Amino acid sequence: MSGGPVVRPYGDATGDGMVQVSFTLPVPHDKRAEGAALQLAAKMGLDPAMLVHARQMGDGFTFFVVYGRVGHLVDLAAVRVVERDFPLLPAKEVNALIRRRLRRKLSVVGACIGTDAHTVGIDAILNVKGIAGEKGLEYYRELRVTNLGAQVSVPELVAAARAERADAVLVSQVVTQRDAHLHNVREMSAAFREAMPAGRRPLLVVGGPRFDELMAGELGVDRIFGRGTTPGEVASYLVHRLVGAAAAGRGDRDRSPAGEAAEVPG
């Protein structure tokens, strides 16, 4: 322990250590299956473990919910997360900063790569309808958004980033079987490193429910966004990284990572 604050799980009373877990076993639902579920719960450290739900899930599979006490503690001082290091900006301010400092539209290309056909995530961020009442990036007047959709190959993505002179590439990955999301992102980042020199590469941003936000460096991308990310967060991050960099002093030349550097009007 680090000496910082320590907490226990909460179930019925503060600090009682009670937790609820769910899982599926490849067995038909019967008394033996329920006993197997309780045995697994005991090996997971639940003591005592109580079976509160069991339901057959097709031929030869049963879904369980188990409730019980664990003795583990959580050391809050040892928790590692990626903190948001940029301010959340309203759409009006995002547009104003891009217009005033970048002096051109900020180009964004988005896609689901590999065999991933789940466009709900990328559409929620890019499409004007957005998510939960918040408009997507197409709503921002100073963003030029290209949504390539589903099952885009890495070479196609690189080619589109070149063609659109992308400042940022956003990739959503939902399919995670056999770590497909990790393999796809590593392939993408390697392809961009090979295709473009460091000063011309777009910002690489990925998102999906199974990503660990701490793995950005390992995967070769600039940022990972997890579940619950909003379009406003992504827009604010892009402005922080791209418009802030332009304002920090790149002489009289603008950042065009996927193409030739462009002169900024005086």
* Strand partners for 110: 147, 170
- Alpha-carbon distances of 193 from 45, 116, 188, rounded to whole Å: 45, 22, 9
Catalytic residue among 43, 92, 129, 135: 129
Residue 38 burial class via C-beta count within 10 angstroms: exposed 0-12, middle 13-18, buried 19 and up? middle
**Does the annotation count 31 as an active-site position?**
no
Beta strands in 79-222 (DSSP E): 106-111, 143-147, 168-172, 203-207
Cβ neighbour number for residue 213 with a 10 Å cutoff: 14
- Alpha-carbon distances of 98 from 17, 65, 86, 130, 144, rounded to whole Å: 50, 50, 16, 20, 11
Just list the catalytic residues: 129
